[in-house]
Structure 1
Amino acid sequence: MAVVLENPTHISPRNVQDAFESPDFYQIDDLLTEEQKLVRQSTREFIKKEVSPIIEECADKNIFPKWLVPKFGELGAFGPSIPEEYGGGGLDYISYGLMMQEVERGDSGMRSMTSVQSSLVMYPIYKFGNEEQRKKYLPKLATGELLGCFGLTEPNFGSNPSGMLTNIKDMGDYYLLNGAKMWITNSPEADLAVVWAKDESGRIKGLIVERGMAGFSTPTIHNKWSLRASITGELVFDNVKVPKANVLPNKDGLGAPMMCLDSARYGISWGAIGAAMDCYDTARRYAMERIQFDKPIASFQLIQKKLAEMLTAITQAQLLSWRLGTLMNEGKATTAQISMAKRNNIEIAMNIAREARQILGGMGITGEYSIMRHMMNLESVVTYEGTHDIHLLILGKEITGIPAFS
């Protein structure tokens, strides 16, 4: 059963220093601005102080550390690319990516929580909402006073969101909302949900559904072996009366939630690099210290091969995401380009996690090290926000002009 803690009094912080060092073999730091490096450094320090000491116990005991939500808000991790007038950071997309890289280096579940808040809740309210909605919700979401979630996936519609059954009926002063959403990060603790539903003509619209509305419930999904420090649930709507003032007015149709997913997938492409870096750094340190046959295992050819291939893959992912971030800043990035980065970087992270686990031998499966937790988390990351194969088909459509999934 998932546990939610409002404060850390039941957690015993590990007395282990987080000595992570970030690889930068191609001197990519030379491509970053001072502000971007400062954002990365402040996020890295936050993760080392607040997340690293408690995350293994949280994952082991399936605890969502809710007390960290306002601290992430203080850090500026919620809505970093949202304008400052609405409580956001007003940062560029590379800064946002670097922030997600550092958060996921700590834990994919923590990055999922922040990604959902930023890209799937704050982004659509800012992009598709009106001024009243922006001023009402965004500042409190930015500080973490409010926690949000995003309702698109349904029990029978994941890769095919256009088939959704969740619907709204116009009742004059309000819409009547019915249906259900599944696999929703943050939902059991969320104060509001950005929900996508079909109107009577079959057109998809976005609505802000608030906790406390009659007929709205958020059951928790239990027995997860992945993202155990994150909380996941359902959204259930039983004749929920949603005021028309809560409808996002500036865009409807499936393109609206897809734009949100593009933003989230972009952040994931950077986040996966963080998980890969952490596994690589852990394996490198271990290999230098672990003695077998009277010498460090780092001196053996097969270990050096694994480390060299890890560093090469991380460098490839860094360059891919940096270039994608540049395109995002220029407003030129396409869905297919984002799909390539999401798919490539997660595959790299999964391969590195498995190779790093082998370097650690039996110790690699224990909670003394982060690798097995990353491995389990990445099994979710490779599936959500578009499965590994769907992103392949998005690229296939871009190449051939033929959609293979419709």
Structure 2
Amino acid sequence: MTNPNEITPHLFRTEYSKIVAVLCRSFDIKHMEIAEDIASETFLKASEYWALNGLPDNPAAWLYTVAKNKAKDYFKHLSIIEKNKKDEASTAEKEHPTIDFDTKNISDSQLEMIFVTCNPVNSLETQICLALQILCGFSVEEIASAFLSKTETIKKRLQRGREALRMHHFTIDSLSEQDIHQRLETVLATLYLLFNEGYFSRTNDFLIRKDLCLEAIRLTLILTDNPFTNTPKTNALLALMCFQSSRLDARTNDEGETILFDEQDEALWDKTLIEKGNYYLIESCQMNSTSVSKYHLEAAIAYWHTSSAKDKWPHILNLYNQLVIIEYSPVTSLNRAFAFSKVYGNEIAVAEAEKLNLTGNEYYHGLLGYLYSEIHPDQAIYHFEEAIRLTKSKPEKQTLQKQVNLLKTK
């Protein structure tokens, strides 16, 4: 018999945001907190009832029924309180909104919530926090852990972000296809950053890190189910997420230390996710589009990283050359320098990397430490120690210190 205490957290991750999305769509985003309260009360009742009576045959359907009944009770209570108000007629119209948990309405409601949450009125960092809480059901404490921030800081950020959402309410139904496409760029950017927050997470909590990646994939999948948002960029981003996620289990050891790409155990790579990545990358290229986005290039780079082809590095370098032109960033430039070293050797790559002069960047020093390891150990130690000083990530500090110790014993 399945233990309810084991399944409820999983259901919370998968069903909480669905319930909130459907309720918000039924009675306005301004009442988001009420929708969240109803969803929370639903799960509280589930944990209590299931502990005594065991799991129902269909736990998700049970949750939807309870949430629907609680929503009806809320509106009945509201109508009683407001029955003497002058706007009684308008209240009556909203007394019993349609609350439907069929597959299409859940999907449409979640799509709408993605666009609501990823509103450019907020900063991208705030959008990610809102996405984690509203779309993924993460607690304030979990979000603070993911960002290595204080709980109070995250609370204030969420409060400001939510207030902005209430002031800029919209629904998917009110948007034209052109409007959706204009907002889609922000949505994709938020989901991209949400995924990266997991993949390049500074926290050593592997479960939170993996959940971030899986939630970003789940939300991007919703976009591919709608004809307006199923675009080449959306599919390219989903391909990138699948390729990158396929190597998650191989990126850290049991102690939480980062494992360098060259040392990863390929047997731990998820072949199913690689196949899905191939599918969505092909889809992104077959759609009617003449433009190549950064998501296409990064997905193609990630594809080559999962390939066992011996001549893959020139292809990767060529893709990075294109990527730095489309969207320059220090990370892209450092990754290009690493690919450069694979093609032309470490000694030439050192000069290429040092041109970047990113002396305040831990990854810059980490890369130079790697490049100098075989040709100038003392310089390598210096750069590794600089990277240790600059990074805030405990797992990265451990990995870098390990490299220093190895060099000092040679």
Computing the radius of gyration over CA atoms, which structure comes out larger, 1 or 2? 2
* Richer in strand (by share): 1
User: What TM-score, normalized to structure 2?
Assistant: 0.28
User: What TM-score, normalized to structure 1?
Assistant: 0.28
Q: Which has the higher contact order (CA 8 A, sep 6+)?
A: 1
* Richer in helix (by share): 2
